[in-house]
Amino acid sequence: MGTENPGGSNFPIRPPSSPFASAPPTMAPFPSPGTLVGYEASNFRPTLPSGPPTMPPFSSAGPRPPARLNNPSVSSPPITSVPPTGGPYQRFPTPPYPSTVQTTPIHAPPERQPPFQPFANQVLAPSISLPPPSQVPPVPMGSSPQPPSGSLFSGPRPNFQLPFPGYSSQQPAVSQAPFAAQQGSFMVPPPASSPFASQQGGYVPPPPVAAPLSYQSRDQMHHPSSAPPISGIQSLAEDFSSLSLASMPGSIESGLNYRTLPRPLDGDVEPSSFTEMYPMNCNPRYLRLTTSAIPSSKSLVSRWHLPLGAVVCPLAEAPEGEEVPVINFTSTGIIRCRRCRTYVNPYVTFTDAGRKWRCNICALLNDVPGDYFAHLDATGRRIDLDQRPELLKGSVDFLAPTDYMHRPPMPPSYFFLIDVSISAVRNGMIEVVAQTIRSCLDELPGFPRTQIGFITFDSTIHFYNMKSSLTQPQMMVVTDLDDIFLPLPDDLLVNLSESRNVVETFLDSLPSMFQDNVNVESAFGPAVKAAFMVMRQLGGKLLIFQNTLPSLGVGRLKLRGDDLRVYGTDKEHILRLPEDPFYKQMAADLTKFQIGVNVYAFSDKYTDIASLGTLAKYTGGQIYYYPNFQSGIHGEKLRHELARDLTRETAWEAGMRIRCGKGVRFTSYHGNFMLRHTNLLALPAVDCDKAFAVQLSLEETVLSALTVYFQVALLYTASCGERRIRVHTAAAPVVTDLGEMYRQTDIGAIVSLFSRLAIEKTLTNKLEDARNSLQLRIVKALREYCNLYAVQHRLGARMIYPDSLKFLCLYGLALSKSVPLKGGYADVQLDERCAAGFTMMALPVKKLLKLLYPSLIRIDDYLLKSSVQSGDFENIIKRLPLVAESLDSRGLYIYDDGFRFVIWFGRMLSPDIARNLLGADFAAELSKVTLSEHDNEISMRLMTILKKLGEGDPSYYQLPYLVRQGEQPREGSLLLVNLLEDQMGGTGGYVDWITHIHRQVQQNA
Ligand SMILES: [Zn+2]
């Protein structure tokens, strides 16, 4: 994902086949509690711990400390008990829920039953034979040395009688130890303290008027009055897909042809049934449920075995040609349910001649304010409906009135903390960073209010006075690392427009200021504290550029991960956690003061990304990782990614809450953020590239509603200075049929949740345990599905699965082979593994799926075509299975995982092509060649292709790496190890994996 680390492994023992030899770049953290602006939190009583704090003290919780910051580990209230009123901003008071709520017997509006859409192309896969299960080679996924006999699967054979290990239900409750919990997984306390429990006061669920929806088959869904599903093979063909794994006695070779296996060569396909059923739902890019058929009972949930939840990307870029409408309610105030605070949306209903509206989430009947009143027509629709986007669109931005603010909306604010020690000078990082910031000054959002400031550091901290009246910045050096103070009260963070000249002078001179610096130390912790002290009045984005392991002052770190004995033990995961509590405490302080952190890490040696990344994880930021950075090679990538970070639309001082209908609640949140008030995600700075996953559970044994509604509300300050609430609303039907849940499964959302859960598990367990948990869960889900159909239809040895889950096995394999989870010590450098974990925790669905199952396309034919129209490219490219067999020695291929390109030159590739693409470097070793455009049609075409592929997703810059067939170990580490369907270095391939899964499904099936 990140830059390549050409042969520069810090761990010489590592075999050359390390997959992401060039680590993936970025990850994103999670914000955590802190002062949140006004907002929605208001109605929910914060849960305070009843017992004495058992957590490390949390320094910023109390009254605002003086400018001089003392050791944060001095006594102060624990973070769990941070009262919402702490900190500089006051929370906007809102009336609490009425203690007794009017009992309104209601049902979800008796809406028309949404027709389900038929699934396309569900066909029985051709039968393929396979050797008897006993002869199937097991698939070892772990890398720890295992005896070759028996099961090669590194773990013990899973015991199916045991409950599925790990994952949310068994995680510690947050109220006990918000920080003790591992990465980004925040569990909501039990129902008793849930907001819904309190707000439902005296609500008594009415008896069902009609039987809950129960779709026995799609046929029935379309024709509810039709007969029960036809039994027999005919209906089977429609209901699910299957794969024959019948045994073939006497066969030794696996008879399963890899070509027939399902694979996602079309990439992510957003679920359409969801939007077609409920056309007023928000676009799936903002919210995707793991199944859009909500189970009607807890027993259904437990039988489903897959995670029930959603992936939310609240600021995803709007579909082309669409904009999220901005709605100004300043005259009436924003219309919200007075009980559950749901925002008015397309699913509320108006009654009583237009004087009342019923909340679709909690069913309360609310008054319509006089200014918002409109008559209803004969069908009960408001006559002004056409002018009310909030009643028509699933996604809107409400302009927030002043009562949603604790203070005036903050200006966009960028603060840079730059390592200027010798390694940063030598690898050219400082120069690229300075140039890039300077080139982006005109595009920073928020002109003319934008604020900017800088600190540099090595063994000391260097502040810069940027006062607008100066002709050049004044540097002030603070050497006392134990007692950091600000040398100036003001002018360290300044208005960019006013101080533009000083800022430019500073950036122009920065590289030369330190060009002779030979300081090797890093006072990283004290420098972060200094930046915090400068920024705390305002908040904003803190961009940290770090080249070395922090060596001085608070937060200093030491080399970890080189003790081989730790691996494979129950202490292994500690290496993936921050070493020093300073980092979590600092992250909590930063979040509290609305400061989001992005960490750019560049070292060629161990820098403890597990610790550094914590700053980004809990502040809603991300990690950009450029191992072994050299400006000559990786400069363009850094330039592009830093520029995007600086110029993409950002939501400031934000908080997000997700509401859902009664009987259902969110139980855990996964991503980069910090959680407050049990269900408020604090996000100091959030953008379109960040996604969050949540898990749901049923509060009632049986749901009485026919439809469940979800509403995501993100309160934020836009760069233009407006305070807004972005609201996404969606509805999903409740079903009583397990088969329907499977049919309506969204594999993208499932994989997103699985990834986050598995990565979190690596922070509390061995890698092998995380992989085994994932595998077991897949097996259970498929077995349950198999039980639904197999017996009744005597399917015997066929592996059956719903069409919606046809890629489940493959993505499970891909996840097990992904950088955060794969192998063991020798397979991935520790920093690289942690960086990838942070990154994947925040990726939107599409980006994540692309990373897990990258594109492999052949392009030599296309490059040679005499007449090519622009636009032809999309029609010509065909994604290939990720197996070595896809590679033809006469071909030229692009491997594209969304983070980089690998361009593979077949040994027999036409010399013309190679010469045209490489020019004079035609015969050189490709590790030393940088791809550049030459003056010929073939070269220009290739560059155009790369540009087009890159433009599809600008969140990361994809450097092209060139490799020639047979050039080892480079070919292995850049490409072959990523052909995840192949067996590789002791780990099984797709055929082995699916065979193994099938055997497990059949046990006790
Ligand atoms: Zn309500």
Q: Which of 228, 262, 253 is nearest to 800 (CA)?
A: 262
Q: How far is the CA of 338 from the centre of ligand 1 (A)?
A: 7
State yes or no: pLDDT of 360 exceeds 60: yes
Q: How far is the CA of 205 from the centre of ligand 1 (A)?
A: 14
Q: How far is the CA of 358 from the centre of ligand 1 (A)?
A: 8
Mean pLDDT of 205-210: 32
Q: How far is the CA of 298 from the centre of ligand 1 (A)?
A: 23
Q: How far is the CA of 43 from the centre of ligand 1 (A)?
A: 12
d(CA 221, CA 293): 12
Q: How far is the CA of 822 from the centre of ligand 1 (A)?
A: 45
State yes or no: pLDDT of 191 exceeds 50: no
Q: How far is the CA of 650 from the centre of ligand 1 (A)?
A: 30
Mean pLDDT of 825-839: 93
Mean pLDDT of 401-412: 90
Confidence bin at 81 (pLDDT 50/70/90): very low
Confidence bin at 548 (pLDDT 50/70/90): very high
Q: How far is the CA of 278 from the centre of ligand 1 (A)?
A: 20
Mean pLDDT of 89-108: 35
Q: How far is the CA of 843 from the centre of ligand 1 (A)?
A: 31
Q: How far is the CA of 446 from the centre of ligand 1 (A)?
A: 35
Q: How far is the CA of 359 from the centre of ligand 1 (A)?
A: 5
Q: How far is the CA of 280 from the centre of ligand 1 (A)?
A: 19
Q: How far is the CA of 724 from the centre of ligand 1 (A)?
A: 20
Q: How far is the CA of 659 from the centre of ligand 1 (A)?
A: 10
d(CA 768, CA 772): 6
Q: How far is the CA of 730 from the centre of ligand 1 (A)?
A: 15
Mean pLDDT of 832-856: 96
Say what the pLDDT of residue 329 is.
Answer: 87
Q: How far is the CA of 660 from the centre of ligand 1 (A)?
A: 10
- Let me know: does 621 contact 615? Beta carbons within 8 Å: yes
- For residue 219, report the phi and psi dihedrals to the nearest 5 degrees: -55, -45
State yes or no: pLDDT of 590 exceeds 50: yes
Give the Cβ contact number of residue 653 at 10 Å.
31
State yes or no: pLDDT of 820 exceeds 60: yes
CB proximity list for 460: less than 8 A, separation 6 or greater: 477, 478, 479, 481, 523
Say what the pLDDT of residue 855 is.
Answer: 95
Q: How far is the CA of 306 from the centre of ligand 1 (A)?
A: 29
d(CA 85, CA 93): 10
pTM to 2 decimal places: 0.78
- Let me know: does 396 contact 282? Beta carbons within 8 Å: no
Q: How far is the CA of 318 from the centre of ligand 1 (A)?
A: 27
Say what the pLDDT of residue 1004 is.
Answer: 65
Q: How far is the CA of 825 from the centre of ligand 1 (A)?
A: 51
Q: How far is the CA of 399 from the centre of ligand 1 (A)?
A: 20
Helix or strand run (H / E) with residue 849: helix 845-852
Say what the pLDDT of residue 952 is.
Answer: 83
State yes or no: pLDDT of 234 exceeds 80: no
Q: How far is the CA of 987 from the centre of ligand 1 (A)?
A: 52
Mean pLDDT of 507-516: 96
Q: How far is the CA of 632 from the centre of ligand 1 (A)?
A: 57
Q: How far is the CA of 497 from the centre of ligand 1 (A)?
A: 45
Q: How far is the CA of 164 from the centre of ligand 1 (A)?
A: 35
Helix or strand run (H / E) with residue 725: strand 723-735
Task: Please list the residues that pair with 288 across neighbouring strands.
Answer: 311
Residues in the chain: 1005
Report how far apart, in Å, the C-alpha atoms of 311 and of each of 241, 524, 669, 755 are: 26, 34, 10, 12
State yes or no: pLDDT of 210 exceeds 60: no
What mean pLDDT is reported for the chain? 78
Q: How far is the CA of 344 from the centre of ligand 1 (A)?
A: 9
State yes or no: pLDDT of 517 exceeds 80: yes
Mean pLDDT of 369-387: 94
Q: How far is the CA of 365 from the centre of ligand 1 (A)?
A: 8
Q: How far is the CA of 325 from the centre of ligand 1 (A)?
A: 23
Confidence bin at 244 (pLDDT 50/70/90): low
Give the Cβ contact number of residue 748 at 10 Å.
25
Give the Cβ contact number of residue 165 at 10 Å.
16
Mean pLDDT of 168-184: 33
Say what the pLDDT of residue 241 is.
Answer: 65
Q: How far is the CA of 595 from the centre of ligand 1 (A)?
A: 32
Q: How far is the CA of 405 from the centre of ligand 1 (A)?
A: 22
State yes or no: pLDDT of 780 exceeds 50: yes
Say what the pLDDT of residue 984 is.
Answer: 82
Q: How far is the CA of 281 from the centre of ligand 1 (A)?
A: 18
Q: How far is the CA of 343 from the centre of ligand 1 (A)?
A: 8
Q: How far is the CA of 407 from the centre of ligand 1 (A)?
A: 28
Q: How far is the CA of 982 from the centre of ligand 1 (A)?
A: 52
Say what the pLDDT of residue 254 is.
Answer: 47
Burial zone of 386 (CB within 10 Å; 0-12 exposed, 13-18 middle, 19+ buried): exposed
- Let me know: does 653 contact 686? Beta carbons within 8 Å: no
Q: How far is the CA of 361 from the centre of ligand 1 (A)?
A: 5
Can you state the angle between helices 429-440 and 631-647, rounded to 10 degrees? Answer: 30
Q: How far is the CA of 37 from the centre of ligand 1 (A)?
A: 22
- For residue 608, report the phi and psi dihedrals to the nearest 5 degrees: 60, 60
Q: What percent of the chain lies above the pLDDT cut of 90? A: 59
Give the Cβ contact number of residue 699 at 10 Å.
17
Say what the pLDDT of residue 64 is.
Answer: 39
pLDDT single digits (tens) 743-754: 999 999 999 999
d(CA 944, CA 931): 13
Q: How far is the CA of 542 from the centre of ligand 1 (A)?
A: 38
Say what the pLDDT of residue 52 is.
Answer: 37
Selected residue with higher pLDDT from 219 and 723 = 723
Cα-atom radius of gyration of the chain, to the nearest Å? 28
**Residue type for position 959:** L
Mean pLDDT of 121-126: 33
In DSSP notation, 276-330 reads: HHSTTSPPTTTEEESBSSEESBHHHHHHH-SPPEEEE-TTPPPPTT--PPEEE-T
Return residues with CB closer than 5 A to ligand 1 (ion): 337, 339-340, 342, 359, 361-362, 364
Say what the pLDDT of residue 332 is.
Answer: 82
State yes or no: pLDDT of 238 exceeds 60: no
Mean pLDDT of 219-231: 32
Q: Give the angle 733-737-738 at the CA atoms, nearest 5°.
A: 105
Q: Are strands 395-399 and 326-328 parallel, antiparallel or unpaired?
A: parallel
d(CA 848, CA 360): 33
Mean pLDDT of 368-379: 94
Q: What is the dihedral of CA 960, 961, 964, 967, to 10 degrees?
A: -170
Give the Cβ contact number of residue 238 at 10 Å.
16
pLDDT single digits (tens) 20-77: 333 333 333 333 333 333 334 333 333 333 333 333 333 333 333 333 333 333 333 3
Q: How far is the CA of 34 from the centre of ligand 1 (A)?
A: 26
Confidence bin at 255 (pLDDT 50/70/90): low
Confidence bin at 525 (pLDDT 50/70/90): very high
- The token duo for 602 is 């560049």
Q: How far is the CA of 662 from the centre of ligand 1 (A)?
A: 9
d(CA 411, CA 398): 19
**Residue type for position 612:** L
Q: How far is the CA of 210 from the centre of ligand 1 (A)?
A: 22
State yes or no: pLDDT of 731 exceeds 60: yes
Q: Which of 912, 875, 869, 871 is nearest to 890 (CA)?
A: 912
Could you tell me how far CA 978 lies from the centroid of its own chain?
21
Selected residue with higher pLDDT from 245 and 457 = 457
- Let me know: does 134 contact 150? Beta carbons within 8 Å: no
State yes or no: pLDDT of 638 exceeds 70: yes
Confidence bin at 662 (pLDDT 50/70/90): confident
Q: How far is the CA of 373 from the centre of ligand 1 (A)?
A: 19
